[in-house]
Homo-oligomer: A and B are copies of this chain.
Amino acid sequence: MTDLTPPAVILDKPQMADNIGSVARVMANFGLSDLRLVAPRDGWPQDRAWATASGADWVLEGVRVFDTVAEAIADLNTVFATTARPRETRQPVRTPREASRVLYDDTASGLKAGLLFGGERAGLETTDIALTSGIVTIPIDPRHHSLNLAQAVAINAYEWRTLVLDAPPPKFRQGEPPASNDLLLGMYEHLETELDAGGFFHPPEKKRSMSQNLRVMLGRAAFTEQEVATFRGVIHALSKGRGRVLAKLAEKKARGE
């Protein structure tokens, strides 16, 4: 993970301290920490914020409060305003993913970046949006477009972190590699021998294609060496274990016990 300064989060006129705490929590989740409040309705600090921050105290303790959006973003170079797509705008409108890319490139070049969010009800004023480098619109379903403030921050912060990490977890397995083919072949042959003894291959001329189907379907699981051993244990237990039990019963019965 590259050593970049993540974007600041600026909340314009937030109303609920709970939401400020939830924003702090989600910032911490995705590695952001610079939180700025513009004219919070109920002042600052607010105990309720700590209650919902779920331990992201360092974010809340670092909060700076400003009177206006202009002051809050004064030291930043690239700021995007997260808002619904305006009916008319000359500013570029980006998805969170596109915006992250710009923020990433800019901070990597030594610039300071920020994400601006409106208050719960009023949203952002056009004059404040105009101060920014552009608009970010989250692709919300228009039939239900009321997105919670912390969720809006979460989506953007997640996109930032995903881009910075840029190292998706390995596609399939960590640890053990799949077993070698000779081990698999031994397992298939063991299975087929026991199935033959159990009368599975019926009619006999179908044995070849039936065996092949079994190999294909089990092969997809890509057993490890350990799993091959486990599966051979399964074959053994099913074929011999049960057989021993039944055989003993039959013996007793035949002896008239």
Contacts and interface: CB of A to CB of B under 8 A. Distances in A.
A148 B173 CA distance: 27
A158 B54 CA distance: 23
A240 interface: yes
Given A92-B172, A97-B162, A227-B217, A22 B254 contact: no
Contact of A251 (B97, B191, B253): B253
Interface in A228-257: 230-231, 233-235, 237-251, 253-255
Nearest to A210: B230
A208 interface: no
A169 B140 CA distance: 12
Contact of A198 (B150, B197, B230, B237): B237
Nearest to A144: B28
Nearest to A93: B169
A144 B93 contact: no
A158 B138 contact: yes
Contacts of A155: 154-155, 158
Contacts of A30: 139-141
A214 interface: yes
Interface residues of A, number: 89
A95 B169 contact: yes
A23 to B, nearest CB: 11
A193 to B, nearest CB: 10
A113 interface: no
A218 B243 CA distance: 24
Contact of A250 (B168, B235, B251): B251
Contacts of A222: 220
B148 A54 contact: yes
Interface string A37-61: 0000000000000000011100000
Contacts of A253: 251
Contacts of A231: 217
Interface of A: 22, 25-26, 28-31, 54-56, 85, 88-90, 92-95, 97-98, 137-141, 143-148, 150-151, 154-155, 158, 161-162, 165, 168-176, 191, 194-195, 197-200, 213-214, 217-224, 227, 230-231, 233-235, 237-251, 253-255
